[in-house]
A and B are shown apart, each in its own frame.
Chain A
Amino acid sequence: MGTGMFDYAPAPESRAIVDIAPSYGLFIGGEMVDPTDGTRFKTVNPATEEVLSEVVAAGPQDVDRAVAAARAAYDGTWSRLPGRERGKYLYRLARLVQERSRELAVLESIDNGKPIRESRDVDVPLVAAHFFYYAGWADKLGYAGFGPDPRPLGVAGQVIPWNFPLLMLAWKIAPALATGNTVVLKPAETTPLTALAFADICRQADLPPGVVNIVTGAGDTGRALVEHPGVDKVAFTGSTDVGRQIARSVAGTRKKLTLELGGKAANIVFDDAPLDQAVEGIVNGIFFNQGHVCCAGSRLLAQESIADELLDRLKRRLGTLRLGDPLDKNTDIGAINSPEQLERIRELSAVGEQEGAERWSPACDLPDRGYWFPPTLFTGVTQAHRIAREEIFGPVLSVLTFRTPAEALEKANNTPYGLSAGVWTDKGSRILWMAQRLRAGVVWANTFNRFDPTSPFGGYKESGFGREGGRHGLEGYLDV
């Protein structure tokens, strides 16, 4: 991370394009409204600790209003619209996202802490693509393999995390609307702003009031939403612990549930892997988005015969990562999203050291203000270490070794999680052999962290159930 002869000057993306209001209400029934029983709290830029705005922590009555608005819209308008027309609304939303893409990317980086290059080149384009993809299903549901005329469920209550705020919103809202449901969505407490901007996009699209409702808030708001009796479908992305609680709370109801939870993915590198690309895949796997990725490749399983060489290359590569201002176009690693998350990462890293793993980070200047953690790797890790089992959700890589494919497989599967896995080898048969046996919902071979609206994503075991993306992603929102 040190500067050499070719020192990249600051290349800041301008904030001027974004207009953040001093405070926001709730988006209910097509309008921004004041809370009934909600309180207000501040949202902060994690890179600078600057207060960005004041938003509402919706109370139970607010949630009730939102669900009622969604129900009214479902009964009165949305369920009566032919799929063809629903699709055209979604196309409008997709187009509006494309038109406002720069504004949304900047806003996302400011509120979340992720580098502008990622929000600009990955997050926002995928958001538009999700809306485009699902727009096209709205009038083709009879061809989707769920029977000639599959019906929606009604009102969906959706709770999303802070790591890809707008993208998680798209993953939830696009299929829900395409299949004919209406939604009440709660963005994460620390990242409400792009969801509120999306509310404005709904307004620009002339989306019928109440089809999309955005209620901001924290855990209590989320609980009120998923437990609301007027909700027919619950979709949650977040921690396994909260996922468990939600699964308990819908027991005995008729609510349909999908969950996308945590992971501790193994990124497996064999001795015949294309090494330089494997290094990129490892870096992308755990340091992309500061490691705040449920499917992050947080365990590197390196075949013992090439482990040293791989680590040398990896360490050298980590030395070129640039950590700093998320709005600088050359930043690779942005801020940790919140002080709570930073504390957790620090705590688990300390545990790693205590348990005897060897810790290494490239030399890194951390800014004075904001929440920062340098890319870190632990070598000499084994399955018995806590840092090999528990999800850290930060830029921390645990490195283990293996000798044979069977051993790699065993270690990869030896976890209650099962979201994703990576396999690096030049041998096609081995890719397929591993993929067949890995108990993970997504297997990336010779690549990592690739997402596409056509490609179903979701976990095995305690990483959740249900799939988002693709034809499979429709199922969670249909009465099938």
Chain B
Amino acid sequence: MTATAPIAGDLADVTASNATLRRFLHGLPGVDQVGVEARAAALATRSIKTTAKQFALDLAVRMVDLTTLEGQDTPGKVRALCAKGLRPDPTDPTCPQVAAICVYGDLVPVAVDALGDSGVHVAAVATAFPSGRAPLEVKLADVRAAVDAGADEIDMVIDRGAFLAGRYLDVYDEIVATRQACGDAHLKVILETGELATYDNVRRASWLAMLAGGDFVKTSTGKVSPAATLPVTLVMLEAVRDFRAHTGREVGVKAAGGIRSAKDAIRYLVVVNETCGDDWLSPDRFRFGASSLLNDLLMQRQKMTTGRYSGPDYFTLD
């Protein structure tokens, strides 16, 4: 662990009050928008071919949180999605499983039942997803219900209104309370980076979520545009890297929303690789929140083995 200049003497003091938390978060290095976007764009020029591409495609599949978050979701839809997550490519048994199925809290029992002990996790969105606008008790009850129903992972949303109004300690306290309500389930903290607007805010919110005990920081709900972008994810990866250097704890990153092609996904993995290295190249530390991405990953996998371009008829729509 390399020595770093003390950003704050003792992190426990940092959350003593809103003022100290604010000073800490605003004391983190700023992010230059043009610079970070240029860095992300440069990383996107990496050419990933042959064995590297095969590795990346398989890893990407294993990192997918296959997601359905629609008002019109039904048990039938969730069961279909689970079947897909267990066996993504009907023609290729070597295709790995996805990391998790991500659903609304009330459909957790269906997913738990369908996934059994396969190892594919059940992730539930909670805390009045996607807006987060509800009293804390309601949001925590949402979490407990999902955990009780068997969810392995909870994806919460932060209170962006409180964050943008500078009430950082309120945001922090809610995450802490949510983490407690999760029990053994892992907590992913959705920052909704599209609403945070600046990269400085994304860095601050990432640190806030990590200080509060989040296991993952997640870019977006997928319901607001822009959702995940390469530069935003880069900033979050830098934050988790710095957090480990400072505290020793490894927090994961989930990029969700707007990642549709295998090419996109591979670019994200390059960014993970060159920012955080091997330790984050695993489903325990990086996830893609996606739905249509999976089929494109499968199509590219098929092309690598058959040498031919494939078409949508050869992959299932669930």
Q: Which A residues lie at the B interface, using CB under 8 A? A: 4-11, 117, 121, 272-277, 280-281, 305-306, 308-309, 312, 316, 320, 329-330, 426, 446-447
Interface pair B35/A4, CB less than 8 Å apart: no
Known interface pairs A312-B4, A329-B45, A330-B47; 5 further A-B residue pairs with C-beta atoms within 8 A, sorted by A's residue number: A6-B273, A6-B281, A273-B30, A276-B35, A281-B35
Q: Which listed residue (B5, B38, B270) contacts A280, Cβ 8 A?
A: B38
- Do A276 and B281 contact each other (CB < 8 Å), given the known contacts A6-B56, A11-B49? no
CB under 8 Å from chain A, chain B span 272-293: 273-274, 277-278, 281
- Tell me, rounded to whole Å, the shortest Cβ–Cβ distance linking B297 to chain A: 16
Number of interface residues of B (CB under 8 A): 33
Interface pair A4/B2, CB less than 8 Å apart: no
Most chain B CB within 10 A, of A9, A117, A329, is at A9
Q: Which listed residue (B5, B52, B238) contacts A7, Cβ 8 A?
A: B52
Contact residues in B for A11 (Cβ distance below 8 Å): 47-49
Contact residues in B for A280 (Cβ distance below 8 Å): 35, 38-39
Q: Which listed residue (A276, A308, A309) contacts B238, Cβ 8 A?
A: A276
Contact residues in B for A4 (Cβ distance below 8 Å): 273, 277-278, 281
Nearest neighbor of B275 in chain A, beta-carbon distance: A320
Contact residues in B for A5 (Cβ distance below 8 Å): 55, 278, 281
Contact residues in A for B32 (Cβ distance below 8 Å): 274, 277, 446
Nearest neighbor of A445 in chain B, beta-carbon distance: B32
- Tell me, rounded to whole Å, the shortest Cβ–Cβ distance linking A268 to chain B: 15
B interface: dominant SS? helix
Most chain B CB within 10 A, of A273, A275, A281, A312, is at A275
A356, B278: Cα distance in complex, Å = 36
Contact residues in A for B47 (Cβ distance below 8 Å): 8, 11, 329-330
A interface: dominant SS? loop
User: What total of A-B pairs shows CB separation below 8 Å?
Assistant: 83
Interface pair A9/B52, CB less than 8 Å apart: yes
Contact residues in B for A6 (Cβ distance below 8 Å): 52, 55-56, 59, 269-270, 273, 278, 281
B29 within 8 A of A: yes
Contact residues in A for B39 (Cβ distance below 8 Å): 276-277, 280
Contact residues in B for A426 (Cβ distance below 8 Å): 30
A9, B40: Cα distance in complex, Å = 20
B247 within 8 A of A: no
Interface pair B31/A9, CB less than 8 Å apart: no
A306, B28: Cα distance in complex, Å = 12
Interface mask (B48-85 → A, CB under 8 Å = 1, otherwise 0): 11111101100100000000000000000000000000
Interface pair A275/B55, CB less than 8 Å apart: no
Q: Which listed residue (B36, B49, B273) contacts A276, Cβ 8 A?
A: B36
A446, B30: Cα distance in complex, Å = 11
B34 within 8 A of A: yes
A312, B7: Cα distance in complex, Å = 14
Contact residues in B for A7 (Cβ distance below 8 Å): 51-52, 55
Interface pair B48/A274, CB less than 8 Å apart: no
Contact residues in A for B273 (Cβ distance below 8 Å): 4, 6
- Do A309 and B5 contact each other (CB < 8 Å), given the known contacts A4-B273, A274-B29, A276-B29? yes
A5, B51: Cα distance in complex, Å = 11
Nearest neighbor of A328 in chain B, beta-carbon distance: B47
Nearest neighbor of B41 in chain A, beta-carbon distance: A121
- Tell me, rounded to whole Å, the shortest Cβ–Cβ distance linking A334 to chain B: 15
Most chain A CB within 10 A, of B35, B49, B52, is at B35
- Tell me, rounded to whole Å, the shortest Cβ–Cβ distance linking A121 to chain B: 7
Most chain B CB within 10 A, of A273, A277, A426, is at A277
